[in-house]
C-alpha cells in the first residue's frame, strides 16, 4: 500500500517543515512532534523507557525513519504502542505519514548503516496475507519456534499447533485462547497464522484485532461499503481475531461479527479467537456469540512458572547477544512473575542500562536498573491481602494466621503466608513477624526457608505458590 499521490498536503509539512529540508533536521522536528503527542498520553516511565532511546534518522516523502536500539524495542513498541503511534503519526504527518524502523547493524560501530525492518503505513487496515498483500503482515517474531513452552501454556500451544496443521478440519473450531495480559495470546495467535501459511501456502490468512475489526466496520458503514467489508472478511480460510473482549458493548459490530462467524464456520473455515476472560465472563457479549465461542475448544494460558521464565529470559538474552549470569536470570525470574511482557520489559531495560553505561551486566547493576520497577509493583501489595488470599486458598479463617494456634495445618498455611508477605510486601522480617501475632523475625526467616524447600521438592506445591502470587498481584491492582 503506497501513500496516494492525490492526498491533500499535510498541515505540518507546510507550516513547519520546508520540503527542501528533507534531512535529519526535518526528521528531528517530526520526531519531536510525535514525542510531544506520545508524552501527553503515556506515563513518563513508559515514554522514557521506550521512546527516548529512539533516534530519528531521516525523513523523505512522508516517511520518517527512526532507529531503534534493538529488535526488542521494535517488538515491544509494535506490540504495545502501535495504535498510539498511528494516532500520533496521523496528528503529525496526516493520513499518509509512514514510519520506518531501522535496526542498528550490529557489526557496524556507528549504527547508522541500518537495515529497515518494517514499514508502518498510516492508515493501516487489516493485514491480509496469502493471496492478497504482503506476506509479512504478521509480526515475524511471533512464531511457534520462538514461543517457549511450559506447563501453563502447553495445552493452548498444542491446540494452536493442531489447528495450524489442519485448519478447519479439527474439532477445535473455533479455538479460543484466553488469559491475562502479556501471557502470549497474540504470539500464539500469530504463530498459527505463520504456521498455516508455511504448511498450506494457498490458505488465506487474516489476522485482526477486534478493535481494528470494529474500526473497519464503522468506517465501512460510514462510507456505505458494508458489503465490501463483509465480502473481505468472508473470503478467508483462517480468521484470527485478537482480543474479542473489545467487542463487548458494541452491538452492531457484534452482529456483523456473528454473521461473519457463521458464514466462515459453515464453510468449514477455521476461526481462532483470543480473549482476556473465558467467554461466559464477558459481560455484555451477545449470548449467541458466547455460545458460539464455546462450540470448539476453549483453553487458557496462565502466567509462566519459574522454569519457563528462566527459559524465556535466556532465550531473549541470546537473541540480544548478551550473556546473563544465572544469578541475574534468577533475580529477574524471581521478581517479574506476572507475565512475559513485564519480564521482557525488565530485560530490555537491563540491557539498555548496561550498554548505555558501558558496564558489564552484574547483579548490582540489575538491582540498580530495575529497583523502581520492582518497588512500584511490590509496594502495592499489602499484607492483609496476602493473608486473606492465602487463608482463602487453604480454607482457613484469616484470623488464625495471627493467632497462637499451632496445629500442623495452620502452621503450614501461616508459613506460606509469611513467606509470601516477605516476598510481596517489601516489609522487613520484623514487620512481617509483627503482623503474624507478634512472632519474631527468626520465625519468619524459618518460614521462608521451609517454603523454599517445599517448592524445590514438590513441583505441584511450587505451582500453587506461583498461582497464589499471581492472584495476590492481580487483586492488588
- Provide DSSP, 331-345: HHHHH--S-HHHHHH
Residue from 37, 269, 341, 423 that binds ligand ADP (CB under 6 A)? Answer: 341
Instruction: Give me the least distance between CB of 340 and Mg ion, in Å please.
Output: 11
For ligand ADP, the closer of residues 64 and 205 by Cβ is 205
Instruction: Give me the least distance between CB of 66 and ligand ADP, in Å please.
Output: 20
Q: Which stretch binds ligand ADP (CB under 6 A): 177-185, 363-371, 397-405, 422-430?
A: 177-185
Question: C-alpha grid cell for residue 164?
Answer: 495450524
Instruction: Give me the least distance between CB of 278 and ligand ADP, in Å please.
Output: 14
Whole-angstrom Cα distance, residue 172 to residue 191? 16
Whole-angstrom Cα distance, residue 117 to residue 103? 7
Whole-angstrom Cα distance, residue 116 to residue 63? 12
Residue from 62, 129, 164, 186 that binds Mg ion (CB under 5 A)? Answer: 186
# residues near Mg ion by CB under 5 A: 2
Q: Does 79 bind ligand ADP (CB under 6 A)?
A: yes
Residue 42 contact partner, candidates Mg ion, ligand ADP, none, CB within 5 to 8 A by sort of partner: none
Residue 184 contact partner, candidates Mg ion, ligand ADP, none, CB within 5 to 8 A by sort of partner: ligand ADP
What is the three-class DSSP state of 6? coil
Instruction: Give me the least distance between CB of 53 and Mg ion, in Å please.
Output: 24
Q: Does 196 bind ligand ADP (CB under 6 A)?
A: no
Residue 153 contact partner, candidates ligand ADP, Mg ion, none, CB within 5 to 8 A by sort of partner: ligand ADP
Instruction: Give me the least distance between CB of 328 and ligand ADP, in Å please.
Output: 18
For Mg ion, the closer of residues 189 and 310 by Cβ is 189
Residue 75 contact partner, candidates ligand ADP, Mg ion, none, CB within 5 to 8 A by sort of partner: ligand ADP
Q: Which stretch binds Mg ion (CB under 5 A): 144-152, 180-188, 309-317, 318-326?
A: 180-188
Q: Does 302 bind ligand ADP (CB under 6 A)?
A: no
- Provide DSSP, 423-444: HHH---HHHHHHHTTS--HHHH
Residues 120 and 99: beta-carbon distance below 8 Å = yes
Residue 312 contact partner, candidates Mg ion, ligand ADP, none, CB within 5 to 8 A by sort of partner: ligand ADP
Q: Does 58 bind ligand ADP (CB under 6 A)?
A: no
Name beta bridge partners: 98.
63, 121
Q: Does 337 bind Mg ion (CB under 5 A)?
A: no
Residues 152 and 309: beta-carbon distance below 8 Å = no
For ligand ADP, the closer of residues 271 and 396 by Cβ is 271
Q: Does 147 bind ligand ADP (CB under 6 A)?
A: yes
Cβ-proximal residue to ligand ADP, closest one:
184
Length of the chain: 477
Residue 275: DSSP 8-state? E
Beta-carbon contacts of residue 374 (< 8 Å; ≥ 6 apart)? 335
Q: Which stretch binds ligand ADP (CB under 6 A): 24-32, 46-54, 175-183, 322-330?
A: 175-183
Instruction: Give me the least distance between CB of 187 and Mg ion, in Å please.
Output: 8
**Which strand (E) or helix (H) includes residue 272?**
strand 270-275
Residues 70 and 351: beta-carbon distance below 8 Å = yes
End-to-end CA distance of the chain: 42
Residues between 303 and 322 that touch ligand ADP (CB under 6 A):
312
Whole-angstrom Cα distance, residue 464 to residue 346? 24
For Mg ion, the closer of residues 194 and 435 by Cβ is 194
Q: Which residue has the cell 479467537?
A: 273
Q: Does 148 bind ligand ADP (CB under 6 A)?
A: yes
Q: Does 345 bind ligand ADP (CB under 6 A)?
A: no
For ligand ADP, the closer of residues 82 and 445 by Cβ is 82
| Phi (first) and psi of residue 280, to 5 degrees | -60, -25
Whole-angstrom Cα distance, residue 405 to residue 258? 57
Whole-angstrom Cα distance, residue 311 to residue 345? 16
Question: C-alpha grid cell for residue 5?
Answer: 499521490
Residue 118: DSSP 8-state? E
Residue from 32, 181, 199, 356 that binds ligand ADP (CB under 6 A)? Answer: 181
What is the three-class DSSP state of 63? strand
Instruction: Give me the least distance between CB of 339 and Mg ion, in Å please.
Output: 11
Give the up-direction half-sphere exposure of residue 238: CA atoms within 13 A in the CB hemisphere: 34
Whole-angstrom Cα distance, residue 171 to residue 162? 10
**Which strand (E) or helix (H) includes residue 383?**
helix 383-393
CA 407 to chain CA centroid, Å, is: 43
Residue from 94, 104, 184, 302 that binds ligand ADP (CB under 6 A)? Answer: 184
Instruction: Give me the least distance between CB of 183 and ligand ADP, in Å please.
Output: 4
What is the three-class DSSP state of 101? strand
C-alpha distances out from residue 416 to 381, 413, 453, 455, 464, Å = 16, 5, 12, 11, 11
Q: Which stretch binds Mg ion (CB under 5 A): 99-107, 185-193, 253-261, 464-472?
A: 185-193
Q: Does 186 bind ligand ADP (CB under 6 A)?
A: yes
Q: Does 65 bind Mg ion (CB under 5 A)?
A: no
Q: Which residues bind Mg ion (CB under 5 A)?
A: 185-186
Q: Which residues bind ligand ADP (CB under 6 A)?
A: 75, 79, 142, 146-148, 153, 179, 181-187, 312, 340-341, 344
Amino acid at each position: 500500500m503506497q501513500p496516494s499521490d492525490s492526498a491533500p498536503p499535510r498541515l505540518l509539512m507546510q507550516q513547519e517543515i520546508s520540503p527542501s529540508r528533507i534531512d535529519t533536521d526535518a526528521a528531528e522536528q517530526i520526531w519531536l512532534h510525535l514525542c510531544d503527542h506520545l508524552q501527553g498520553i503515556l506515563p513518563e516511565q513508559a515514554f522514557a523507557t521506550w521512546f527516548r532511546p529512539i533516534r530519528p534518522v531521516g525523513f523523505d516523502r512522508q516517511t520518517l525513519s527512526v532507529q531503534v536500539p534493538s529488535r526488542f524495542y521494535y517488538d515491544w513498541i509494535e506490540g504495545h504502542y502501535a495504535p498510539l503511534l498511528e494516532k500520533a503519526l496521523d496528528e503529525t504527518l496526516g493520513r499518509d505519514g509512514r514510519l520506518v524502523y531501522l535496526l542498528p547493524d550490529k557489526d557496524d560501530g556507528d549504527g547508522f548503516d541500518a537495515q529497515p525492518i518494517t514499514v508502518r503505513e498510516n492508515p493501516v487496515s487489516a493485514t491480509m496475507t496469502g493471496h492478497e498483500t504482503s506476506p509479512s503482515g504478521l509480526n515475524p517474531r511471533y512464531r511457534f519456534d520462538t514461543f517457549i513452552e511450559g506447563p501453563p501454556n502447553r495445552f493452548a500451544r498444542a491446540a494452536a499447533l493442531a489447528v495450524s496443521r489442519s485448519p478447519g478440519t479439527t474439532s477445535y473450531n473455533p479455538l479460543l485462547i484466553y488469559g491475562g495480559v502479556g501471557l502470549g495470546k497474540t504470539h500464539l495467535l500469530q504463530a498459527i497464522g505463520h504456521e498455516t501459511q508455511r504448511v498450506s501456502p494457498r490458505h488465506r490468512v487474516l489476522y485482526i484485532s477486534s478493535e481494528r475489526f470494529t474500526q473497519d466496520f464503522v468506517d465501512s458503514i460510514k462510507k456505505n461499503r458494508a458489503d465490501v467489508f463483509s465480502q473481505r472478511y468472508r473470503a478467508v480460510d483462517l480468521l484470527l481475531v485478537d482480543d474479542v473482549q473489545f467487542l463487548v458493548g458494541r452491538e452492531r459490530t457484534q452482529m456483523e461479527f456473528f454473521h461473519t462467524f457463521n458464514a466462515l464456520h459453515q464453510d468449514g473455515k477455521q476461526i481462532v479467537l483470543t480473549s482476556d476472560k473465558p467467554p461466559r465472563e464477558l459481560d455484555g457479549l451477545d449470548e449467541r456469540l458466547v455460545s458460539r465461542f464455546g462450540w470448539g475448544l476453549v483453553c487458557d494460558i496462565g502466567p509462566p512458572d519459574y522454569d519457563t521464565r528462566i527459559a524465556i529470559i535466556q532465550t531473549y538474552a541470546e537473541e540480544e547477544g548478551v550473556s546473563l549470569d544465572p544469578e541475574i536470570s534468577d533475580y529477574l525470574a524471581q521478581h517479574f512473575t506476572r507475565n512475559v511482557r513485564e519480564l521482557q520489559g525488565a530485560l530490555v531495560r537491563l540491557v539498555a542500562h548496561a550498554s548505555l553505561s558501558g558496564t558489564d551486566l552484574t547483579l548490582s547493576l540489575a538491582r540498580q536498573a530495575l529497583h523502581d520497577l520492582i518497588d512500584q509493583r511490590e509496594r502495592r501489595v499489602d499484607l492483609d491481602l496476602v493473608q486473606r488470599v492465602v487463608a482463602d486458598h487453604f480454607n482457613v479463617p484469616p484470623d488464625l494466621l495471627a493467632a497462637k494456634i499451632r496445629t500442623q495445618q495452620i502452621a503450614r498455611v501461616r508459613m506460606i503466608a509469611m513467606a509470601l508477605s516477605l516476598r510481596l510486601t517489601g516489609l522487613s522480617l520484623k514487620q512481617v513477624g509483627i503482623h503474624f501475632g507478634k512472632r519474631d523475625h527468626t520465625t519468619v526467616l524459618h518460614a521462608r526457608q521451609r517454603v523454599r524447600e517445599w517448592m524445590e521438592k514438590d513441583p505441584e506445591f511450587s505451582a500453587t505458590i506461583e498461582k497464589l502470587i499471581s492472584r495476590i498481584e492481580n487483586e492488588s491492582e
